[in-house]
Amino acid sequence: MSILDQIIEDKIKEVALRKKIFPTHYWEQSPLFDRKTFSLIERLKASASGIIAEHKRRSPSRDNINSKLSVADVAQGYEAAGVCGMSVLTDLKYFGGSLEDLTAARAVCRLPLLRKEFIIDPYQLVEAKAHGADVVLLIAAVLDRKQIKSLSQTAQSLGLEVLLEVHNAAELEKSIMPSLDLLGVNNRNLKTFEVSLDTSKLLAEQIPNDFVKVSESGLSSVEAIQSLKPYGYQGFLIGENFMKTDAPGATAAQFINTLTS
């Protein structure tokens, strides 16, 4: 069993348990549930950098990235740096995140927040809205076309933007539909964990211009981003490159300054 298969197996059990403890109507009473969301699309289109910065404590491929900093401090640092949006990992077992991280970030910034999670159930979309998310991630590798359509339509009905992540042409082909807002290409091979920007470059021309294009993983240098801009990418999701430092916000600010100067 691959690590992704194991994560999804655990996620199915986790969601089933959470449903029993916190029914959907519980989250619908959240003070954040009816708030007007911030648009990541609008921020990316108006930005010279397109940076989406991530809060991530750890990952299956790297045990500890940075668990010392509070998510609130990171969020404030990213906002001061001028990022377009913030990605917040909410998986606990494999990434050390939580929905409370999302709420903590929402309390201190006005950035569009992406709930980065392995979403398999509409219930998780309600959770996302109730905890202050503006955007949700759907991963084509773990969903079939029917699931992508159902989840993306539900997300949009809640006022959430949808970022659909693909790793190859087959995933992209099965996924393209009107209920998506942003299409993300993950440069990391899920089987080998190797990273290649050629993945984004090869898939770029297959992504219709109706969608905002986002490149993810392996974006550790300004040169990497500059090499992708001619391919139509407007968003660049950066995680470990900022989080592995003692001051992610300051690192992001320096990065953006170099990129845009």
Active-site residue flag, 217: yes
Between CA 17 and CA 15 the distance in angstroms is: 5
Strands (E) located in 78-232? 85-89, 113-116, 135-139, 161-166, 182-186, 212-216
Please confirm, yes or no, whether 186 is among the known catalytic residues: yes
Could you say which of 165, 171, 200, 213 is catalytic?
A: 165
Catalytic residue among 11, 116, 129, 213: 116
CB 41 within 8 A of CB 161: yes
54 is a catalytic site residue? yes
Helix (H, G, I), strand (E, B) or coil at 233: strand
Catalytic residue among 79, 127, 161, 216: 216
164, 170, 175, 180 alpha-carbon torsion, rounded to 10°? 40
Distance of CA 194 to the CA centre of its chain: 20
The one catalytic residue in 127, 217, 240, 241 is 217
Is 56 annotated in the active site?
Answer: yes
Tokens linked to 235 = 């968003």
Q: Which of 47, 49, 54, 87 is catalytic?
A: 54
Spatial neighbors of 106 by CB under 8 A, at least 6 apart, are 32, 113, 131, 132, 133
Give me the catalytic one of 11, 47, 49, 56: 56
Catalytic residue among 47, 66, 152, 186: 186
Annotated catalytic, 45? no
- Tokens 């299956």 locate to 60
The DSSP-derived string for 13-78 is HHHHHHHHHS-HHHHTTSTTTTSPPPPHHHHHHT-SS-EEEEE-S-BTTBS-S--SS-HHHHHHHH
Q: Which residues are catalytic?
A: 54, 56, 116, 165, 186, 216-217
